Amino acid sequence: MRKVVLVGVPGMNDQEVQSLERYIREEGIEDFVFLGKPVLSREEAKEKLKGADILVTWDQQMDEGLYKELDLMAFCAASTGFDAADIEAATANGVMVTNAKDYCVDEVSAHTVMLLLACGRRLYHVTENVDRGDWSVDGIGSVRRLKGSTVGIFAFGSIARGVAEKLKGFGVRMVSYDPYVDREVMEAYGVEKVGFETLLRESDYITIHSPLTDETRGMFSREALSWTKEGVVIVNTARGAIVDQEELYQMLKRGRIVAAGLDVLLHEPPSEAEKGLLELPNVIVTPHSAYFSDEAQEHQLRITARDVGRIARGERPVNLRNGEVLKSNSQISIHSSQLKG
């Protein structure tokens, strides 16, 4: 009998919680505990997660010490992102990490293109003019034709590929930086594989689609942003911490970056220090809602429950993010020996 605990899902509504519990129980789980939507403090986690085999969460932050204190089999992220798991610490302690991979590819890729077009066409400015009764394009500044421009796609996973598919009809040149994806894969989508610096220097639009890892955290640093073209548009529907937010703010304020479409911030909801970014007239911010649709919500919960059930039955989860955890070694043999396939 496996104990499954759900906690740390701020923003998940009551109906979603109930549906997720129902789907998990349909997988044969009898011992299910919902500890609440807020993220537990470290001390609370040490106490309340004792005895849990499978943790289901969005944002419950884990680390080496917590994994050593507990005896988890798995950290199941009920989302695309799984950075809260600290995957290196999880692997070192024999804990499987899963996520709800690809449940919202169409939604996030569509949201990305929406933000790109809205920023490129200065939607934030012209709608303000209309609200003031000004039926003109006065003050809109320079707007360049989308056709013939270069769109830089940072990382080339499923969502990025959805963006490339959606942009095909706009007549843009598409380039992408992703050291883990072969050139042939990108070319099949009409995308040119380039280095990171080339992407920054040549793109008129940059869209960010990588997971948040030690490698990508802060990758759009002050130096990296300084390499971008004057008047670039930046769209981020991935994770806020990939971008140096203070430098982004300063460059937007100066007009060096002409506009930004952000579905993610460093802190969500934003801290007091971040509210200046939201108040800039050339920024469109959405509340981490790119994933949202009726179909995606349902898919997200079912994907999560499916892998919880597979783990509980001793089967390999479909969306295992750290497959190396199954390799036989002294740290994780107790867990890997329970898995099939």
Catalytically annotated residues:
239, 268, 288
* DSSP codes, 205-227: EEEE-----TTTTT-B-HHHHHT
CB-CB contact of 261 with 119 (8 Å): yes
How far is 78 from 76, CA to CA, in rounded Å? 6
The amino acid present at 253, given as its one-letter code, is K
How far is 224 from 195, CA to CA, in rounded Å? 12
Write out 13-36 in H/E/C secondary structure: CHHHHHHHHHHHHHCCCCEEEEEE
Which positions ≥6 away from 226 have C-beta within 8 Å?
A: none
Instruction: Give the residue carrying structure tokens 């998990």.
Output: 24
Mark residue 28 as left, alpha or beta (left: phi above 0; alpha: psi -120 to 50; beta: remaining): left
